[in-house]
Amino acid sequence: MRVTPQPVRRQVEERLREAIITSRFMPGEHLSDRMLGDVFGVSRGVIREAVRLLEAEGLIKVVPNRGPFVAFLSAAEATQVYEVRAVLEALAGQGFAERASTEEIAELREVFEELAATRPGTDRMVLLNLKRRFYGVMLRGCRNAYVARMLDQLLNRNSQLRATTLSDPKRLPQTIAEIRRIVEAIERRDPGAAWAACREHVHQAAQVALRILNQQARDEAAQGLEVALD
């Protein structure tokens, strides 16, 4: 079977998205055409097209006369993202409980057991990759292409917050317990319980993420005051 190579622009788009999601490029970092061209080894035209597409996803913000930057997620924006994510994730869990194959349910359990075996202090990218695998199985098995597409984009949008909350030693055991309830509801083929467990998981994640964002805002405000008083 012949494998058709992806267009260069698509490859750059995916690699740039991955670099932002995994915090290789941090919020607020300037993504100049020259720097990205050197990193990915492509022309500025290809870079600009990839940037335009990721701007539409909310991962990049283009500032007039300054260029593209990795987008920040404010507390207000995060609140909206988590509200929508809660509904989409609940739909995915419900659909998975109703329509996933026995093999897919076993695969979901296998990924969960890998996550459950981790301990506080585990590298946050390891944790994030496990969560991405978990959602990959769920989105495939829920058999709803619209939910899968929209939820995947939202998870990309707040991936850096997810990595931060997952690496919190106090949050990790809670995350594992919440996901265990999701998996057990799915294994019982209980769509209502899967819906409720998914919504509760997102609700708890939102509380942690918003606490982090609000603390960051307070710290930045305090630093600004210190500079003003110097």
40-67 pLDDT, tens digit per residue, is 999 999 999 999 999 988 889 999 999 9
Q: What's the confidence (pLDDT) of residue 229?
A: 46
Residue ranges covered by each domain of the chain: 8-70, 75-217
Assign domain 75-217 to a CATH class.
Answer: mainly alpha
Q: What's the confidence (pLDDT) of residue 212?
A: 83
Q: Is the entire prediction scored with pTM above 0.95? A: no
Contacts of 92 (CB under 8 A, 6+ apart): 135, 138, 139, 142, 144, 147, 148, 151, 198
User: Identical fold at 8-70 and 75-217?
Assistant: no
Assign domain 8-70 to a CATH class.
Answer: mainly alpha
CB atoms inside a 10 Å sphere around CB 63: 9
171-212 pLDDT, tens digit per residue, is 889 999 999 999 999 999 999 999 999 999 999 999 988 888
Q: What's the confidence (pLDDT) of residue 3?
A: 37
Nearest to 85 by CA among 141, 27, 151: 151
Q: Distance between CA atoms of 14 and 2, rounded to whole angstroms? A: 22
